Amino acid sequence: MGGATICILGGGGFIGNHLGRRLLSEGYRVRSVDRDDHRVRDLSDRAGFEFRRFDVRDEGRLAAAIHGCDVVAHLSSLCNPSLYTTRTLDTIGSNYTQALPVIAACREQGARLLHFSTCEVYGRTLAGFAPDDSSFRQDPANTLLSEESSPMLLGPLHRTRWSYAAAKQLLERTIEAEGRERGLSWTIVRPFNFIGPGMDFLPGVDGEGLPRVMACFASALIRGEPLPLVDGGRARRTFVHIDDAVDAIVRMIDRPGASAGRVFNVGHPENECDMAGLARLMIRAFEELTGRGFGPGVKEVVAEDFYGPGYEDCDRRVPDITRARTLLGWEPRIPLPEAVKRTLSAYLGTAGVLPA
Ligand code: UDP
Mutation test residue for ligand 1: of 212, 268, 298, 305, the one with most atoms within 8 Å of CB: 212
28 assigned to active site? no
All domains in the chain, ordered by first residue? 77-350 (3.40.50.720)
In the chain, at which residue ranges do the beta strands (DSSP E only) sit? 5-9, 29-34, 49-53, 71-74, 112-116, 144-145, 186-191, 194-195, 227-230, 236-238, 240-241, 262-266, 272-274, 298-301, 318-319
CB 80 within 8 A of CB 108: no
Mind listing the pLDDT tens digit for each residue in 196-231? 999 999 999 999 999 999 999 999 999 999 999 999
Mutation test residue for ligand 1: of 122, 168, 202, 275, the one with most atoms within 8 Å of CB: 275
The minimum-distance atom of ligand 1 relative to the CA of 214 is 20
Q: Would you call 230 helix, strand, or coil by DSSP?
A: strand
- pTM of structure: 0.97
Mind listing the pLDDT tens digit for each residue in 128-161? 888 888 899 888 888 999 999 999 999 999 999 9
pLDDT on residue 1: 66
150 CB-side CA count, 13 A: 27
In this structure, the residue with its CA closest to atom 17 of ligand 1 is 213
CB 12 within 8 A of CB 39: yes
Q: Would you call 55 helix, strand, or coil by DSSP?
A: coil
Please list the rounded mean pLDDT of every run of 10 residues in the chain (356 residues).
Answer: 90 98 98 97 96 97 98 96 96 98 98 98 93 87 94 96 98 98 98 98 95 98 98 97 98 98 98 98 98 97 95 96 98 98 98 90
CB 112 within 8 A of CB 256: yes
In this structure, the residue with its CA closest to atom 25 of ligand 1 is 81
Summary mean pLDDT of the chain = 97
CB 318 within 8 A of CB 332: no
Q: Would you call 281 helix, strand, or coil by DSSP?
A: helix
